[in-house]
């Protein structure tokens, strides 16, 4: 019996959180926005989401089988990528385009770099940007609410008359997951309460946009509630792999996101402010991480005394 005792290095217990549980919570947090999108844009929104999620999972499965990598589908990260990508598509997009987006997100951005944890940019964001570049017409043919008379997206110049309540409820044009601010906030708060994400990135991102909007003479509440900002701030910018790890790093990241978003929104001509802000900050993340390490206990003090 004795020689069968297991000997390993400490610690001998691990916490309850797993990658799968975390990704599962993110997926759950996206459910209110999904329900809202079906109500706003009709059944088509659900079908497009199912197509996108399924193709993300299948691409991940197929690619890993092909190259002989262990299939990580059960960690649910492909499901989350699929949901986020679908949320960034107009409900009227042809299915095959969504499948192309899923291929770009999963195979090119995620798996070619080494799989979960090794990608340098958020797969769903790159998928969206690639589709927006390649199929500009279809991607900006925003879906419109099934039962509404309003017909513009809030950030287009023709639509200055959308009121706050409409913005909160999301009963206006846009990509399918971004319009209902209340549903996104609900999901975001759930993620913060369950400690999946730290509030640092969303708060500093939204805060920076609000402050800059005020300075630029824009209506800050309108800016916060429109476009992909809520979706981006709570769900896309907080992607672990492509955002900084320390509190300080997240602060810098959030402010950077706000700055770039506002510059594109106020001075640019494209409607991809949030996507490009996140992509650019994703690429800066390794540098931010390196420059924003924490103070280590006793190290700063020893250094200070050394220079005395």
Partner 1 sequence: MGKFLKRAAQGADVPHDKGTSNLETVVMPLPSKITLSMGQHIGAPAAPCVAKGDQVYVGSVVGKAGGFVSCDIHSGVSGTVSEITTITAPNGAVQTAVVITPDGKQEKDPAIAPPQVTDMKSFVDAVRASGLVGLGGAGFPTAVKLSPKNLDEIDTLVINGAECEPYITSDNRCLIEDTHHVLNGVKQVMKYLNIGKCVIGIEGNKPEAIAKVQAAIDDPRIEVKTLPCRYPQGAEKVLIENCTGREVPFPGLPSDVGVIVMNVTSIAFVSKYLETGMPLIAKRLTVDGDIVKTPQNVEVLIGTPIRELLDFCGGLTAEPGKVLYGGPMMGNCVASLDQPILKNNNAVLAFSKERSHTPKATNCIHCGRCTNACPLGLSAKEIVQAYNNGDVELLQKLNADLCMSCGTCSFVCPAKRPLAPSIALAKIMMKNGGKK
* 143 bridge partner residues: 174
Output the smallest distance, CB 240 to partner 1, in A: 4
* Helical axes 95-103 vs 123-134, angle rounded to 10°: 130
Least distance CB 190 / partner 1 (angstroms) = 17
Joined tokens for residue 261 = 């978003």
Closer Cβ to partner 1, 71 or 270, answer by number: 71
Smallest separation, CB 288 to partner 1 (Å): 12
Cβ contact 226:236 at 8 Å: no
- Judged by CB under 8 A, the residue of 189, 245, 263, 280 near partner 1 is 245
Q: Of 112-151, which residues contact partner 1 (CB under 8 A)?
A: 115-118
Interface with partner 1 by CB under 8 A: which range of 162-170, 224-232, 275-283, 294-302? 294-302
95 binds partner 1 (CB under 8 A): no
Residue 298 CB neighbours (<10 A): 8
**Contact status: 7 vs partner 1 (CB under 8 A):** yes
Work out how close the CB of 253 gets to partner 1 at its nearest, in angstroms, rounded to a whole number: 12
Q: Residues of 7-42 as b/e, b for ≥16 C-beta within 10 angstroms?
A: eeeeeeeeeeeeeeebbbbbbebbebbbebbbbbbb
Helix %, strand %, coil % of the chain (to 5) = 65, 0, 35
308 near partner 1, judged by CB under 8 A = no
Q: Which of 153, 187, 298, 307 binds partner 1 (CB under 8 A)?
A: 298
Q: Given the complex with partner 1, which of 34 and 278 has the nearer CB atom?
A: 278
Q: To the nearest whole angstrom, how small is the minimum distance from the Cβ of residue 122 to partner 1?
A: 12
- Residue 141 DSSP class: S
Dihedral, 22, 23, 28, 33 alpha carbons, nearest 10: 130
| Phi, psi (degrees; rounded to nearest 5) at 137 | -65, -55
Query: Nearer Cβ to partner 1, position 13 or 165?
Result: 13
Q: How many residues sit close enough to partner 1 to count as binding (CB under 8 A)? A: 48
Which three-class secondary structure state does DSSP give residue 174?
A: strand
Which listed residue (127, 173, 244, 256) binds partner 1 by CB under 8 A?
244
Choices 72-80, 184-192, 208-216, 256-264 (CB under 8 A): range interacting with partner 1: 72-80
Nearest to 125 by CA among 223, 25, 260, 298: 260
**Shortest gap between Cβ of 256 and partner 1 (angstroms)?**
16
Residues 13 to 52: which contact partner 1 by CB under 8 A?
13-15, 17-19, 21-22
- Measure the CA–CA gap between 64 and 81, rounded to whole angstroms: 16
Binding region for partner 1 (CB under 8 A): 1-15, 17-19, 21-22, 72, 75, 77, 115-118, 240-248, 251, 289, 293-299, 301-302, 305
């Amino acid at each position: 019996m004795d020689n069968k005792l297991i000997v390993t290095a400490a610690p001998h217990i691990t916490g309850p959180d797993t990658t799968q549980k975390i990704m599962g919570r993110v997926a759950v947090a996206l459910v209110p926005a999904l329900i809202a999108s079906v109500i706003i844009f009709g059944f088509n929104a659900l079908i497009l989401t199912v197509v996108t999620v399924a193709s993300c999972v299948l691409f991940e499965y197929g690619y890993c089988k092909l190259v002989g990598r262990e299939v990580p589908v059960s960690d649910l990260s492909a499901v989350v990528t699929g949901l986020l990508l679908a949320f960034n598509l107009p409900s009227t997009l042809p299915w095959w385009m969504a499948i192309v987006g899923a291929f770009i997100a999963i195979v090119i951005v995620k798996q070619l770099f080494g799989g979960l944890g090794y990608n340098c940019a958020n797969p769903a964001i790159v998928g969206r940007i690639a589709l927006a570049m390649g199929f500009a017409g279809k991607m900006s043919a925003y879906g419109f609410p099934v039962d509404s008379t309003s017909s513009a997206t809030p950030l287009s110049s023709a639509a200055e008359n959308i009121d706050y309540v409409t913005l909160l409820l999301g009963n206006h044009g846009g990509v399918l997951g971004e319009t209902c601010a209340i549903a996104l906030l609900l999901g975001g708060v759930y993620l913060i309460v369950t400690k999946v994400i730290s509030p640092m990135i969303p708060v500093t991102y939204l805060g920076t946009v609000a402050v800059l909007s005020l300075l630029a003479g824009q209506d800050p509440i309108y800016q916060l509630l429109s476009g992909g900002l809520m979706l981006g701030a709570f769900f896309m910018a907080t992607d672990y792999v492509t955002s900084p790890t320390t509190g300080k790093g997240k602060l810098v990241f959030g402010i950077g996101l706000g700055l770039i978003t506002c510059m594109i929104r106020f001075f640019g001509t494209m409607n991809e402010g949030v996507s490009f802000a996140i992509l650019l900050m994703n690429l800066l993340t390794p540098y931010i991480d390196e420059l924003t390490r924490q103070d280590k206990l006793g190290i700063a003090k020893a250094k200070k005394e050394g220079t005395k």
